[in-house]
Amino acid sequence: MQLPETRLSRVIDPALTRIGQWASWLWLLLMAIIVGNVVLRYAFDAGHIEIEEIQWHIYSYGFLLGLSYAYQADAHIRVNVLHEHWSDRTQAWIELYGILLFMLPFIAVILIFSFPFVAASFEIGEVSQSPGGLPFRWAVKAALPVGFLLLLLAVLSRLSRVWSLLFISRGVVRGAK
């Protein structure tokens, strides 16, 4: 389904694309760190908990920043067996209800609970419980609200495009990518 662009989507979508492209480099960095850690462990019998923890941090940010890009680029998983047989308007109606009934409430719950989660970690100066682990545990926990704020932007952009298709453009796709 091709959706019309809106003023909102023309602002949000390029920004999310840039963030997604930047975040894709995190996977290369993660792979290099994993390979380095494996070499250190098995070739030199030297394990480092801080290297393992930095892997978790990079994975968290890569995944959570990638969510918004995947949603914005419409590269997320769907039940395409059914979806591809429906008309664009039917797909748009399902998308609208999915956003309003599931995505926005889910994002709201995550955001409502993640900010106090990160703030509490910051206030107590939480560090890793592992000996030699990383400090600033709040930094990895902050990936949750950051990722979901970006996902909220992607959802609002998509909502504006679906709304435009259903109620403004009368099904005529203008300026679609």
Cα separation of 6 and 175, whole Å?
Answer: 9
pLDDT of residue 132: 76
Domain boundaries, the chain: 7-168
Nearest one of 146, 127, 118 to 50, comparing CA atoms: 127
pTM for the whole thing? 0.86
Question: CA-to-CA distance for 173 and 91, rounded, in angstroms?
Answer: 14
- Residue 165 tokens, joined: 């298709």
The predicted pLDDT at position 135 comes to 86
pLDDT in tens, the chain (177 residues): 788 888 999 999 999 999 999 999 999 999 999 999 999 988 888 878 888 889 999 999 999 999 999 998 887 776 666 667 788 888 889 889 999 999 999 999 999 999 999 999 999 988 888 877 788 889 999 999 999 999 999 999 999 999 999 988 654 444 444
Give alpha helix (H) positions in 4-85: 7-44, 49-72, 80-83
Q: How far is 23 from 18, CA to CA, in rounded Å?
A: 8
